Amino acid sequence: MELIDGNQIAAALIAELKAEVAALPGRKPCIALVRVGEDPASVSYVRKKEKTAAEIGLISRIILPPITITQAELFTLLDELNADPTVDGILVQSPLPKHIDEVAVFRRVAPEKDVDGFNTINLGKVAQEDETGFVACTPAGIMELLSRSGVDLKGKHVVVLGRSLIVGKPVALLALQKKAGANATVTICHSATANLSAITRQADVLIAAIGRPEFVTPDMVKAGAVVIDVGINRVADASKKTGYRLTGDVAFDRVAPLCSKITPVPGGVGPMTVAMLMKNTVKARRLSA
């Protein structure tokens, strides 16, 4: 069993981006990070993005509207950032407060600055295999992890657990694409799937992205499969100082011995998401030049 080290692969990608940014003529790429409210997970995610941007040589502009901001006010803010020629990429940290329509916000970000890859146009470009778009960061990170770990999906059966807009749907589309590293046969499973374990056991590559702690158990995985665990769940644990531990959607200790390769949580897919966001921002800067 080989552990796919997301920290190591992300560090290699960040080093490549740093060299690329250093060689860019003119102004440095700039990302606007918009965080509404003080959700603890969002605070730490945005801090991590800011730190990684600085490491690569990107400019990050942190915008912290109050949790009371209306949807109309948030739209006005996004319109200003869309119109600002010194901003290359815009990320609105989710989750947003309940009174704001998240999908409407994703649509409001100009497609050419949508480095998060959630605008309708960019999702459509993934389906059309149009390389000028931006791919959502977690799915792009999963494909990068697979490719840099020597996993070619051609002819493989990829089973995706979860159909979210953020991971499940785009990663299925990416695995299907007619290009090097992809060309997989893809099955998407979800809460209404019958005989779930019979399907997941057919997977050469199983991508778990359903947000349910340790949901994937050994009886759901065939021997020699590659398992990508996208979940980050907090589970109560009295033995930890924080009172909780982080776990994925896969029962790692029990499933890992069956796998040829598996990602850990933390330290697997997570670091890649931030690295791909930076890669998209550098791409946006190049496309705007």
Long-range contacts of residues 66-74, Cβ cutoff 8 Å, at least 24 apart: 66/36, 66/37, 67/36, 67/37, 67/38, 67/97, 69/36, 69/97, 69/100, 70/99, 71/99, 71/100, 71/101, 71/104, 71/105, 74/34, 74/36, 74/100, 74/105, 74/108
The reply to whether 93 belongs to the active site is: yes
Of the residues 88, 114, 116, 249, which is catalytic?
116
The reply to whether 202 belongs to the active site is: no
Both structure tokens of 52 = 């990684």
- Supply the DSSP string of 114-148, one letter for each residue: -TT--SHHHHHHHHTT-TTS---HHHHHHHHHHHH
Of the residues 49, 156, 279, 283, which is catalytic?
49
Cα-atom radius of gyration of the chain, to the nearest Å?
A: 19
Of the residues 88, 93, 204, 279, which is catalytic?
93
Give ∠ CA 126-127-132 in degrees, rounded to 5.
35
Place of tokens 């990608």: 13
Output the CA torsion sign for 245, 35, 123, 142. Answer: negative
Place of tokens 């796919």: 4
Would you name the residues annotated as active-site residues?
49, 93, 116
